Structure 1
Amino acid sequence: MVEEETDGAADPMPPPQLRRRLGRADLRAVPEARRALRELLRHWGRSGASDVAELLTSELVTNALLHTDDDAILTAVVSPRALRVEVRDFMARRPRPRCPDADQDTNGRGLVLVDSLADAWGVCPHGVGKSVWFELRAEAA
């Protein structure tokens, strides 16, 4: 057993976070995820960061709900330096950004938006499934 020494001060508060299970193919979860994220981010980040975070979260949540056959889990963690949003699903297939034809419908643009607007993003494989994540820095652009 490892014991941690403390100086008697209270443990620091954990970073504000959001965690939601999203039901399979339940697209009503998309606006709910946006509202919950907006509330989490009321006092965070650079001007306009909340709007970008909501848009990118909508894209990841929608992709997970439309392109997988199971629930998904949304996690957002706010730190003084950045916001990190992850959407975990239970399908091993990795998403790929596509460059849709401009004359076609608006489908297939989600990861292109994530790639262009996030400060960083990626895919983390899990034993079952994967997480697609993005980060936005808190400092002014």
Structure 2
Amino acid sequence: MPHSKGETRAEPWEYSLHIPHDPRSVTVCRRTLRLILTLHGLIRLADVAELLAAELISNAVRHTKGPATLRLCWRDGILRIGAWDASPEPPPYELAVAPDSEAGRGLVLVRACADDWGWHPQRQGGDFGKYVWCDLGAA
């Protein structure tokens, strides 16, 4: 399979980072994501992927009370970024947010920057929560 100079072959991979309920976890997730993408030759996706992951994880930390998990999955030229949290409630998103608002724009950014996104209830271990995800294509 042909690939660009400096890019690893497109073998599927997946990582999960379990994080505590702590606002500092957002920074840990961003830096870990950048390292993973760098090691897999996908640094060109890092800036947008970091923004998307930070929005998903910050929502999980801000709007729930339990732990969270960042999941990164690469398959068929698509990077899926997902965040599991311990609340089964739908993700907090507004269809219209005031331009000068400093809150409520997270999923608006996700919708604008990702190729696709969604959420569904999901059990992780013994905890029932939700999984919010977005896809970012390599092209």
TM-score normalised by the chain length of structure 1: 0.80
Q: Which residue of 2 aligns with 1:102?
A: 99
Q: Which residue of 2 aligns with 1:79?
A: 75
1:59-91 deviation digits (Å, cap 9, x = unpaired): 000000010011011110123411011100111
For structure 1, the 5+ residue unaligned runs are 1-13
Deviates more, 1:29-38 or 1:14-23: 14-23
Q: Where do residues 49-128 of structure 1 align in structure 2 (5 Å cutoff)?
A: 49-98=45-94, 99-104=96-101, 106-127=102-123, 128=128
Which has the larger share of helix? 2
Q: Identity, % of aligned pairs?
A: 38
Structure 2: state its 5+ residue gaps. Answer: 1-10
Structure 1 moving runs of 4+ over 2 Å: 14-18
Confirm whether residue 44 of structure 1 aligns to residue 57 of structure 2.
no
Q: Structure 1 counterpart of 2:99, which letter? A: A
Greater strand fraction, Structure 1 or Structure 2: 2
Contact 1:18-1:36 at 8 Å conserved across structures: no
Residue from 13, 17, 20 that aligns with 2:17: 20
Q: Give, in whole Å, the separation in 2 of the partners of 1:124 and 1:55.
A: 21
CA contact (8 A) 1:75 1:85 kept: yes
Q: Distance in 2 between matches of 1:40 and 1:80?
A: 17
Give the TM-score taking structure 2 as reference length: 0.81
3-state SS of paired residue (1:93): coil
Q: CA deviation at 1:29?
A: 0.8
Q: Secondary structure at the match of 1:95?
A: coil
